[in-house]
Amino acid sequence: MLLDLNMPGVRGIDVLAEIIGARDMTVIILTGESKFGEISYALKLGARGVVTAPFPSKLGRGLLLRNLVNTA
Q: For the chain, what are the domain ranges? A: 2-71
State pTM to two decimals.
Answer: 0.68
For 44-61, how does the pLDDT look when each residue is reduced to its tens digit (9 = 90+)? 999 988 877 665 566 666
pLDDT for the residue 44: 93
Q: Does domain 2-71 have CATH number 3.20.20.100?
A: no
Integer Cα distance of 1 and 22 in angstroms: 14
CA angle 4, 56, 2 (to 5 degrees): 30
For 4-20, how does the pLDDT look when each residue is reduced to its tens digit (9 = 90+)? 888 889 988 999 999 88
pLDDT range class, residue 31, cuts 50, 70, 90: confident
